[in-house]
Amino acid sequence: MVTPHDAGLAVLELKGIGKEFGAIRALHGVDLRVSPGEVVGLMGDNGAGKSTLVKIIAGNFPPTHGEIRFDGKPVHFVRPIDARTVGIEVVYQDLALADNLTAAANVFLGRELKRKLGPFALLDHKAMAARALELFGELRSETRPHDLVKQMSGGQRQAVAIARTRLSNAKLVMMDEPTAAISVRQVEQVLSLIHRLKEQGVAVMLISHRMPDVFAVCDRVVVMRRGEKRADKAIGDTSPEEVTSLITGAKEAA
């Protein structure tokens, strides 16, 4: 296990991140380091600033204050594509998959493989299906590339969404409530998918309300409250009870 603060190179480093929407202060002075292969749980009640933080890291909007460093270099994201270019991928809660397309098509959405036919570039269905199958294999998922996403279970959909992040060799994957809307058995699958990512040296930020999941896979837990970071502890140094009291504000900070 990588301990949080001694790891040499952080993949993501936030310094004093703040965000205001008009008069509303959504985030204030957030510092955060995430190392390669580390799984960080990001917890907090609704409105605590988790989503705002994730959206800033994902490039949905820029922070009002502070600095983001990725792989040691300062970065400025204007659009989500900028964050993706450096290697940040987000797996959204509602999964952001196109139901009418196949698993393979979704994995490659926006990054389709093409084959040249004279002056025209056509979709290379075969290559995409083969590569998607490989990715599902790496994730030990039984998802079939040619199946339509609308016919898949929640766990399989997660596998498709996570395979997307593997395709781009993302260095940081942020997962927004991946276990919120799926059955207990599929939660196991998703947690094992997170382990696969960790094995491959990918840093994972897990945004979740589910305490057991966070304690099952995370190396470290970060608690947000009222737009500020209230705790940042190795999972072994804390307990679900402490985290709960930090989230609710019963305990101010740790």
Residue ranges that bind another protein, judged by CB under 8 A: 80-81, 84, 90, 92, 94-102, 105, 109-112, 114, 120-123, 125, 142, 144, 146-148, 151, 164
Closer of 81 and 253 to another protein (Cβ): 81
d(CA 194, CA 199): 9
Closest distance to another protein from the beta carbon of 73 (Å): 21
CB of 34 vs another protein, minimal distance in Å: 21
Can you say whether residue 103 is alpha, beta or left, with left for phi > 0 and alpha for psi between -120 and 50 degrees? alpha
Residues 26/52, Cβ–Cβ less than 8 Å: yes
Smaller CB separation from another protein, 26 or 160: 160
Q: Which is nearer to another protein, 12 or 95 (CB)?
A: 95
- Among residues 104 and 223, whose Cβ is nearest to another protein? 104
Residue 229 Cβ, how far from another protein at the closest point, in Å? 26
Nearer to another protein, 1 or 96 (CB): 96
- Between 72 and 110, name the residue whose CB sits nearer to another protein: 110
Q: Residue 249 is encoded by which pair of tokens?
A: 């504000």
Contact 91, 161 (CB under 8 A): yes
Entry field: residues in the chain: 254
For residue 174, give the nearest of 65, 42, 52 by alpha carbon. 42
| Closest CB 4 distance from another protein, rounded Å | 29
CB of 121 to another protein, least distance (A): 7
Residue 192 beta carbon to another protein: minimum distance, rounded to whole angstroms:
13
Q: Which two tokens stand for residue 19?
A: 């965000």
Nearer to another protein, 72 or 119 (CB): 119
Question: How many Cα atoms sit within 13 Å of 33 on the Cβ side?
Answer: 13
Min separation Cβ 58 and another protein, Å? 9
